[in-house]
Amino acid sequence: MFEPNRDFACKKLINFINNNLSEYSKLRNFDFGPDQRGNISCLSPYITHGVLSEREVMSLSLKKFPFVKIEKFIQEVLWRVYWKGWLELRPNVWRDYILDLNRLKQEYKDDKNYLEAVEGRTKIECFNTWVDELKRYNYLHNHARMWFASIWIFTLGLPWQLGAEFFMKYLLDGDSASNTLGWRWTAGIQTKGKNYVASEWNIKKFTNNRFSNIKLNENPVPINDERNYSIINNGFLDANISNSQDLLVFDNNISFEQSDFKDQSFKTIYFVFNENETRQIKLDEKVINFKKSLIKDQIESLKNKSLNCKIINIQDLKDMKENLLALYPSIGENLDYINSNNFKNISFLYRKIDQYSWEYCNKGFFNFKNYIPKIVQEFI
């Protein structure tokens, strides 16, 4: 389903635009199963890694259709940018998530309910099917992610933090913002007091009756979390670029060739790979290999253009003492590694679309939505 190279991603995008985008808003909520994914784009593993950018996805789509015809799709594409910005403005949400997670991992390591859930051995057939699907394909439909998270929290009674870890481990599109905030949203913490409740009729309808006899807790109370997070805005301003400096690229911006900085000259471009040793959330081998192959694919392409590039392990940063520029890795494990080692020699360059859009992420998505036409006009 997901070949680890940009050519494949571009073909997937074009194919989706030509054949499926016109029906997206009508059909996108249906999960017809892993063999029938034509109603959605399945581009997230590429967008998450910056192999395709939101800009090119939107701009190619808008070449073929007017904004009003594909507004829903554009909104979804910009949800990622919104979630990222929301988390960037509240970095302690991520810090607390990791702290909670490390405590809960100890508490639940021998818990029978938890072990049955992650092994897909619960009494809920659809849930077990999604566990298998996630492990086999490293992807789940958006609606299945919502049902899964809701069942995990409200029927199985497990902490959302452990569910978010389980998703991050297996998803090819695992993203600290979309995932953590998607789980918080389902639990009723993101929009305080409003939880997402999976129900039998909804699952039946939107899986085309693939499942039946689904016994769920359909009247749960939202999870209560008293913590409030005030906004911390560091400005997200680019560092100065001086000639022939080295550049670090992390696994969220892999297509350097498509980046806002592609025309600048850098001495060497270092692609920083983060193996599992330094991660709090250990990723599935298939996810690690996917990331590695995407990086290798980009390096091959840059070498053909005679650009000097290299792959390094994130731990090699400790030995690099010169001043370094980096495409901003965003809140998540790579940035945690930089911060926990207090690397003062690394300064960041931000994506223009993020600098512009994150200004509108201080409130909810409904507020952000008002600015979507402006964002589209500015960047397309």
Ligand X SMILES: Cc1cc2nc3c(=O)[nH]c(=O)nc-3n(C[C@H](O)[C@H](O)[C@H](O)COP(=O)(O)OP(=O)(O)OC[C@H]3O[C@@H](n4cnc5c(N)ncnc54)[C@H](O)[C@@H]3O)c2cc1C
Q: What residue ranges bind ligand X (CB under 6 A)?
A: 28, 40-44, 47-48, 76-77, 79-80, 83, 142, 145-146, 149, 167, 171, 173-175, 178-179, 182-183, 186
Least distance CB 151 / ligand X (angstroms): 11
Least distance CB 203 / ligand X (angstroms): 14
Q: In whole angstroms, how far apart are CA 202 and each of 31, 193, 199?
A: 11, 21, 5
φ, ψ at 33 (rounded to 5°): 105, 165
| Angle made by CA atoms 99, 103, 107, in degrees to the nearest 5 | 160
Q: Which is nearer to ligand X, 43 or 216 (CB)?
A: 43
Least distance CB 339 / ligand X (angstroms): 21
Distance CA 94, CA 100 (A): 10
Distance CA 271, CA 118 (A): 33
Six-digit token pair at 182? Answer: 């998607």
Q: Which is nearer to ligand X, 130 or 183 (CB)?
A: 183
Distance CA 250, CA 283 (A): 16
Least distance CB 368 / ligand X (angstroms): 12
In 184-283 the beta strands, taken as DSSP E runs, fall at 245-249, 266-273
Question: What is the maximum span of the chain, computed from C-alpha positions, in angstroms?
Answer: 65
Least distance CB 267 / ligand X (angstroms): 33
Q: Which is nearer to ligand X, 187 or 327 (CB)?
A: 187
Least distance CB 263 / ligand X (angstroms): 26
Q: Which is nearer to ligand X, 167 or 290 (CB)?
A: 167
Q: Which is nearer to ligand X, 46 or 266 (CB)?
A: 46
Distance CA 209, CA 291 (A): 35
Cβ count near 313 (within 10 Å): 12
Which contiguous run of DSSP H or E holds residue 78? Answer: helix 71-88
Angle between helix axes 285-304 and 6-19 (nearest 10 degrees) is 100
Q: Which is nearer to ligand X, 245 or 336 (CB)?
A: 336
Q: Which is nearer to ligand X, 87 or 247 (CB)?
A: 87
Least distance CB 115 / ligand X (angstroms): 21
Closest residue by beta carbon to ligand X: 182
Residues 6+ apart with CB under 8 A from 254: 49, 50, 51, 271, 294, 295, 298
